[in-house]
Amino acid sequence: YQPLSALLVGDRISSTLVAKGGEFNHGYTYSGHPVACAVALKNLEIIEREGLVDRVRNDTGPYFAQALQERIAGHDLVGEVRSIGLMGAIEIVKDKATKE
């Protein structure tokens, strides 16, 4: 396990933070450690070599979206089911008609 993260912030958010007198605090996970970066680069290489993005876009993602719709969308407590790629969301509601 090698922790590594990245965060992108648009100009609007960044300028708001600066205008309010704050600095944009950041850090860790785990500060660009060389081993974590090497692991991340190898992961990107594997993702490209095996065409994982295309597989998710054209095969696995649509299968996942259809499976969510078929298995979950009809439940009384589910207001909406949505997904993009392999990231899905299920909205839980008290009343399906009003989506309250």
Name the more confident of 45 and 21. 45
In a domain, 83, yes or no: yes
Single pTM value for the model: 0.65
How many structural domains comprise the chain? 2
Which pair of tokens denotes residue 84?
Answer: 């993009």
Same domain flag for 20 and 41 = yes
Same domain flag for 18 and 35 = yes
* CA–CA distances in Å: residue 89 to residues 61, 83, 100: 13, 6, 17
CB-based contacts of 69, cutoff 8 Å, min separation 6: 81
Same domain flag for 60 and 83 = yes
Same domain flag for 17 and 39 = yes
- Measured CA to CA, the distance from residue 53 to residue 64 in angstroms comes to 14
In a domain, 98, yes or no: no
**pLDDT digits 0-9 by tens, 38-69:** 999 999 999 999 999 999 999 999 999 999 99
Domain with 16 in it: 11-49
